[in-house]
Amino acid sequence: MSDESTYYRVYHDPGLNSSSLLVGWEEDTGSLGSRVIDYLISKLNPKIIADIPPVGFFSLVGVAVHDDVIRFPEAKFYVLKKKRLVFFKGNAPDTEWYRFLTAVLDVGENHCSMKEVFTIGGMLSTDPHTAPRGLLAIANGPEMKKLLRRYNIDSDMSYQSSGGQRPTLNSFLSWMAAQRHLPGANLWAPTPYYLASVDDPRAVKIIAGFINTKFRLNLDLGDLDEAISRQEAAIARLSASVPEIGNIIKKLENNMPVNEEETEKLIFEIRGALKNQGSRG
Protein backbone atom coordinates (compact mmCIF):
# COMPACT_ATOMS: atom_id res chain seq x y z
CA MET A 1 0.00 0.00 0.00
CA SER A 2 1.42 3.39 -0.95
CA ASP A 3 1.28 6.32 1.43
CA GLU A 4 1.74 9.20 -0.97
CA SER A 5 -0.83 11.38 0.73
CA THR A 6 -1.94 11.90 4.29
CA TYR A 7 -5.43 12.47 2.88
CA TYR A 8 -5.93 9.20 1.03
CA ARG A 9 -4.56 5.67 0.74
CA VAL A 10 -3.92 3.87 -2.54
CA TYR A 11 -3.73 0.07 -2.28
CA HIS A 12 -2.55 -0.62 -5.80
CA ASP A 13 -2.13 1.25 -9.06
CA PRO A 14 -4.82 0.17 -11.54
CA GLY A 15 -2.59 0.95 -14.54
CA LEU A 16 -5.06 3.16 -16.39
CA ASN A 17 -3.95 5.58 -19.11
CA SER A 18 -7.36 7.28 -19.20
CA SER A 19 -10.53 7.06 -17.12
CA SER A 20 -13.86 8.61 -16.18
CA LEU A 21 -14.84 9.17 -12.54
CA LEU A 22 -18.40 8.61 -11.28
CA VAL A 23 -19.17 10.09 -7.84
CA GLY A 24 -22.07 9.30 -5.50
CA TRP A 25 -22.74 10.37 -1.90
CA GLU A 26 -24.62 8.51 0.84
CA GLU A 27 -26.32 11.71 2.03
CA ASP A 28 -27.70 12.68 -1.37
CA THR A 29 -31.44 13.31 -1.85
CA GLY A 30 -33.02 9.88 -1.58
CA SER A 31 -29.46 8.47 -1.34
CA LEU A 32 -29.68 8.38 -5.13
CA GLY A 33 -25.95 8.89 -5.73
CA SER A 34 -24.92 5.97 -3.54
CA ARG A 35 -27.75 3.79 -4.83
CA VAL A 36 -26.69 4.24 -8.43
CA ILE A 37 -23.07 3.50 -7.56
CA ASP A 38 -24.11 0.47 -5.48
CA TYR A 39 -26.22 -0.80 -8.37
CA LEU A 40 -23.38 -0.47 -10.87
CA ILE A 41 -20.90 -2.07 -8.46
CA SER A 42 -23.24 -5.03 -7.96
CA LYS A 43 -23.50 -5.50 -11.73
CA LEU A 44 -19.88 -4.87 -12.71
CA ASN A 45 -17.82 -6.06 -9.72
CA PRO A 46 -15.08 -3.39 -9.86
CA LYS A 47 -12.07 -3.65 -7.54
CA ILE A 48 -11.34 -1.39 -4.57
CA ILE A 49 -8.12 0.52 -5.17
CA ALA A 50 -8.12 3.38 -2.64
CA ASP A 51 -9.93 5.12 0.19
CA ILE A 52 -9.99 8.34 2.18
CA PRO A 53 -9.64 7.73 5.95
CA PRO A 54 -12.28 9.55 8.02
CA VAL A 55 -9.87 11.23 10.46
CA GLY A 56 -9.89 14.99 9.96
CA PHE A 57 -13.05 15.01 7.85
CA PHE A 58 -15.68 13.53 10.18
CA SER A 59 -16.48 14.25 13.81
CA LEU A 60 -17.05 10.51 14.53
CA VAL A 61 -19.58 11.65 17.16
CA GLY A 62 -22.96 9.99 16.81
CA VAL A 63 -21.83 7.49 14.17
CA ALA A 64 -24.54 5.47 12.48
CA VAL A 65 -25.62 2.17 14.04
CA HIS A 66 -27.50 -0.44 12.00
CA ASP A 67 -28.53 -3.82 13.44
CA ASP A 68 -26.29 -3.13 16.47
CA VAL A 69 -23.27 -2.64 14.19
CA ILE A 70 -21.41 0.68 14.20
CA ARG A 71 -20.91 2.13 10.73
CA PHE A 72 -18.03 4.56 10.48
CA PRO A 73 -17.93 7.03 7.57
CA GLU A 74 -16.42 5.57 4.42
CA ALA A 75 -15.04 6.92 1.16
CA LYS A 76 -13.87 4.27 -1.32
CA PHE A 77 -12.66 4.14 -4.90
CA TYR A 78 -13.40 1.21 -7.23
CA VAL A 79 -11.99 0.58 -10.71
CA LEU A 80 -13.44 -1.31 -13.65
CA LYS A 81 -10.30 -1.44 -15.76
CA LYS A 82 -11.75 -2.89 -18.95
CA LYS A 83 -14.14 0.07 -19.25
CA ARG A 84 -11.72 2.62 -17.76
CA LEU A 85 -14.27 3.56 -15.12
CA VAL A 86 -13.58 4.74 -11.57
CA PHE A 87 -16.40 4.71 -9.03
CA PHE A 88 -16.28 6.77 -5.85
CA LYS A 89 -18.85 6.30 -3.10
CA GLY A 90 -18.60 8.03 0.23
CA ASN A 91 -20.19 9.82 3.13
CA ALA A 92 -20.26 13.59 2.85
CA PRO A 93 -17.50 15.07 5.04
CA ASP A 94 -18.48 17.20 8.02
CA THR A 95 -15.53 19.56 7.59
CA GLU A 96 -12.63 20.35 5.25
CA TRP A 97 -14.66 20.03 2.08
CA TYR A 98 -11.92 21.48 -0.12
CA ARG A 99 -9.23 19.16 1.24
CA PHE A 100 -11.55 16.14 0.96
CA LEU A 101 -12.56 16.90 -2.63
CA THR A 102 -8.93 17.60 -3.48
CA ALA A 103 -8.18 14.04 -2.35
CA VAL A 104 -10.99 12.71 -4.57
CA LEU A 105 -9.60 14.50 -7.62
CA ASP A 106 -5.99 13.65 -6.76
CA VAL A 107 -6.74 9.93 -6.68
CA GLY A 108 -8.55 10.25 -10.01
CA GLU A 109 -5.84 12.27 -11.72
CA ASN A 110 -2.65 10.95 -10.14
CA HIS A 111 -3.52 7.25 -10.03
CA CYS A 112 -6.23 6.73 -12.68
CA SER A 113 -5.38 9.31 -15.37
CA MET A 114 -8.88 10.75 -15.01
CA LYS A 115 -10.07 12.81 -17.99
CA GLU A 116 -13.66 13.62 -16.94
CA VAL A 117 -15.87 13.47 -13.85
CA PHE A 118 -19.60 12.92 -13.36
CA THR A 119 -21.37 13.48 -10.06
CA ILE A 120 -24.72 11.83 -9.41
CA GLY A 121 -27.51 13.48 -7.47
CA GLY A 122 -31.21 13.45 -6.72
CA MET A 123 -33.47 16.47 -6.89
CA LEU A 124 -36.72 16.70 -4.93
CA SER A 125 -39.74 17.22 -7.16
CA THR A 126 -43.38 18.03 -6.50
CA ASP A 127 -44.35 16.06 -9.60
CA PRO A 128 -45.95 12.66 -8.93
CA HIS A 129 -44.30 9.35 -9.73
CA THR A 130 -46.71 8.97 -12.68
CA ALA A 131 -45.29 12.05 -14.46
CA PRO A 132 -42.60 11.68 -17.16
CA ARG A 133 -39.08 12.14 -15.85
CA GLY A 134 -35.78 12.65 -17.61
CA LEU A 135 -32.11 13.22 -16.92
CA LEU A 136 -30.98 16.74 -16.06
CA ALA A 137 -27.40 17.97 -16.06
CA ILE A 138 -25.19 20.92 -15.23
CA ALA A 139 -21.95 21.00 -17.26
CA ASN A 140 -18.84 22.74 -15.96
CA GLY A 141 -17.71 23.91 -19.38
CA PRO A 142 -18.32 23.92 -23.15
CA GLU A 143 -16.55 20.61 -23.78
CA MET A 144 -18.89 18.72 -21.45
CA LYS A 145 -21.93 20.57 -22.82
CA LYS A 146 -20.99 19.37 -26.29
CA LEU A 147 -20.67 15.79 -25.05
CA LEU A 148 -24.04 15.84 -23.30
CA ARG A 149 -25.78 17.22 -26.39
CA ARG A 150 -24.79 14.02 -28.20
CA TYR A 151 -27.09 12.20 -25.79
CA ASN A 152 -29.88 14.78 -26.12
CA ILE A 153 -29.36 15.92 -22.53
CA ASP A 154 -30.17 19.53 -21.73
CA SER A 155 -27.10 20.84 -19.92
CA ASP A 156 -28.30 24.46 -19.67
CA MET A 157 -29.98 23.80 -16.36
CA SER A 158 -28.91 26.31 -13.70
CA TYR A 159 -28.82 25.84 -9.95
CA GLN A 160 -28.02 28.24 -7.14
CA SER A 161 -27.78 27.49 -3.45
CA SER A 162 -30.10 29.46 -1.18
CA GLY A 163 -28.73 32.74 0.10
CA GLY A 164 -26.09 32.26 2.76
CA GLN A 165 -25.70 28.53 2.03
CA ARG A 166 -22.56 26.97 0.64
CA PRO A 167 -22.84 25.06 -2.64
CA THR A 168 -23.61 21.35 -2.72
CA LEU A 169 -20.71 18.91 -2.70
CA ASN A 170 -21.47 17.98 -6.29
CA SER A 171 -21.40 21.61 -7.43
CA PHE A 172 -18.21 22.26 -5.49
CA LEU A 173 -16.51 19.19 -6.95
CA SER A 174 -17.55 20.11 -10.49
CA TRP A 175 -16.15 23.62 -9.99
CA MET A 176 -12.89 22.23 -8.63
CA ALA A 177 -12.63 19.90 -11.64
CA ALA A 178 -13.04 22.90 -13.94
CA GLN A 179 -10.12 24.63 -12.20
CA ARG A 180 -8.02 21.62 -13.24
CA HIS A 181 -9.38 21.85 -16.80
CA LEU A 182 -11.26 18.59 -16.33
CA PRO A 183 -14.64 18.36 -18.08
CA GLY A 184 -17.38 17.54 -15.60
CA ALA A 185 -21.13 17.38 -15.14
CA ASN A 186 -23.59 17.06 -12.31
CA LEU A 187 -26.20 14.47 -13.31
CA TRP A 188 -29.59 14.89 -11.64
CA ALA A 189 -32.72 12.77 -11.63
CA PRO A 190 -35.96 14.22 -10.20
CA THR A 191 -37.34 12.28 -7.22
CA PRO A 192 -40.94 12.80 -6.03
CA TYR A 193 -40.66 14.15 -2.50
CA TYR A 194 -42.72 11.29 -1.07
CA LEU A 195 -40.17 8.76 -2.41
CA ALA A 196 -37.13 10.50 -0.90
CA SER A 197 -37.09 8.29 2.21
CA VAL A 198 -37.45 5.04 0.25
CA ASP A 199 -35.90 3.64 -2.91
CA ASP A 200 -36.77 5.27 -6.23
CA PRO A 201 -35.84 2.68 -8.89
CA ARG A 202 -37.03 4.91 -11.72
CA ALA A 203 -34.56 7.62 -10.72
CA VAL A 204 -31.82 4.98 -10.48
CA LYS A 205 -32.68 3.76 -13.97
CA ILE A 206 -32.63 7.28 -15.44
CA ILE A 207 -29.00 7.77 -14.44
CA ALA A 208 -27.85 4.16 -14.75
CA GLY A 209 -29.34 4.10 -18.25
CA PHE A 210 -27.23 7.05 -19.36
CA ILE A 211 -24.07 5.54 -17.85
CA ASN A 212 -24.89 2.20 -19.46
CA THR A 213 -25.21 3.86 -22.88
CA LYS A 214 -22.27 6.26 -22.66
CA PHE A 215 -19.76 3.70 -21.46
CA ARG A 216 -21.18 0.79 -23.49
CA LEU A 217 -21.57 -1.42 -20.46
CA ASN A 218 -24.21 -3.64 -22.10
CA LEU A 219 -26.03 -4.06 -18.80
CA ASP A 220 -29.48 -5.61 -18.61
CA LEU A 221 -31.56 -3.11 -16.60
CA GLY A 222 -34.60 -5.38 -16.53
CA ASP A 223 -34.36 -5.76 -12.76
CA LEU A 224 -34.90 -2.00 -12.43
CA ASP A 225 -37.97 -2.25 -14.68
CA GLU A 226 -39.31 -4.97 -12.40
CA ALA A 227 -38.62 -2.86 -9.32
CA ILE A 228 -40.43 0.09 -10.92
CA SER A 229 -43.45 -2.10 -11.70
CA ARG A 230 -43.53 -3.45 -8.13
CA GLN A 231 -43.33 0.04 -6.68
CA GLU A 232 -46.06 1.44 -8.91
CA ALA A 233 -48.29 -1.55 -8.16
CA ALA A 234 -47.79 -1.04 -4.41
CA ILE A 235 -48.69 2.65 -4.70
CA ALA A 236 -51.76 1.75 -6.79
CA ARG A 237 -52.89 -0.74 -4.13
CA LEU A 238 -52.38 1.89 -1.43
CA SER A 239 -54.35 4.46 -3.43
CA ALA A 240 -57.21 1.97 -3.83
CA SER A 241 -57.28 0.98 -0.15
CA VAL A 242 -56.79 4.52 1.18
CA PRO A 243 -58.78 6.79 -1.18
CA GLU A 244 -57.35 9.91 0.45
CA ILE A 245 -53.89 8.95 -0.84
CA GLY A 246 -55.25 8.43 -4.34
CA ASN A 247 -56.90 11.86 -4.19
CA ILE A 248 -53.66 13.54 -3.08
CA ILE A 249 -51.73 11.95 -5.94
CA LYS A 250 -54.43 13.08 -8.38
CA LYS A 251 -54.01 16.61 -7.04
CA LEU A 252 -50.29 16.43 -7.82
CA GLU A 253 -51.03 15.06 -11.28
CA ASN A 254 -53.31 18.04 -11.94
CA ASN A 255 -50.88 20.61 -10.48
CA MET A 256 -53.28 21.39 -7.65
CA PRO A 257 -52.01 22.62 -4.28
CA VAL A 258 -51.48 20.07 -1.50
CA ASN A 259 -51.52 21.27 2.09
CA GLU A 260 -49.03 20.35 4.82
CA GLU A 261 -51.28 17.76 6.44
CA GLU A 262 -51.84 16.01 3.11
CA THR A 263 -48.11 16.12 2.37
CA GLU A 264 -47.22 14.51 5.69
CA LYS A 265 -49.88 11.82 5.28
CA LEU A 266 -48.72 11.00 1.77
CA ILE A 267 -45.10 10.64 2.88
CA PHE A 268 -46.08 8.51 5.90
CA GLU A 269 -48.40 6.17 4.00
CA ILE A 270 -46.08 5.74 1.00
CA ARG A 271 -43.11 4.99 3.26
CA GLY A 272 -45.08 2.34 5.13
CA ALA A 273 -46.47 0.71 2.00
CA LEU A 274 -43.16 0.53 0.16
CA LYS A 275 -41.03 -0.57 3.09
CA ASN A 276 -43.53 -3.31 3.89
CA GLN A 277 -43.43 -4.71 0.35
CA GLY A 278 -39.66 -4.39 -0.02
CA SER A 279 -39.53 -2.27 -3.14
CA ARG A 280 -35.75 -1.99 -3.31
CA GLY A 281 -34.48 -2.09 -6.90
Tell me: the pLDDT tens digits for 247-276? 999 999 999 999 999 999 999 999 999 987
Residue 217: exposed, middle, or buried by beta-carbon count in 10 A (0-12, 13-18, 19+)?
middle
Could you tell me which CATH number the domain at 9-222 has? 3.40.50.10900
**What is the pLDDT, as a whole number, of residue 95?**
87
Read off the pLDDT of residues 103-159 as tens digits, 9 standing for 90 and up.
Answer: 999 999 999 999 999 999 999 999 999 999 999 999 999 999 999 999 988 776 655
Read off the pLDDT of residues 171-221 as tens digits, 9 standing for 90 and up.
Answer: 999 999 999 999 999 999 999 999 998 989 999 999 999 999 999 999 999
Q: How confident is the model at residue 82 (pLDDT cuts 50, 70, 90)?
A: very high
Question: Per-residue DSSP letters for 54-105?
Answer: STTT---SS-EEETTEEE---EEEEEEGGGTEEEEEEPPPSS-HHHHHHHHH
The domains of the chain are located at: 9-222, 224-277
**What is the pLDDT, as a whole number, of residue 54?**
87
- 277 has a pLDDT exceeding 80: no
Q: How confident is the model at residue 71 (pLDDT cuts 50, 70, 90)?
A: low
- 85 has a pLDDT exceeding 90: yes
What distance lies between CA 225 and its chain's CA centroid?
18
Read off the pLDDT of residues 152-165 as tens digits, 9 standing for 90 and up.
Answer: 887 766 555 444 55
**What is the pLDDT, as a whole number, of residue 30?**
80
Higher model confidence: residue 280 or residue 5? 5
**Residue 206's closest CA among 184, 228, 185?**
228
> Model's pTM, two decimal places?
0.88
- The mean of the pLDDT values for the chain is 89
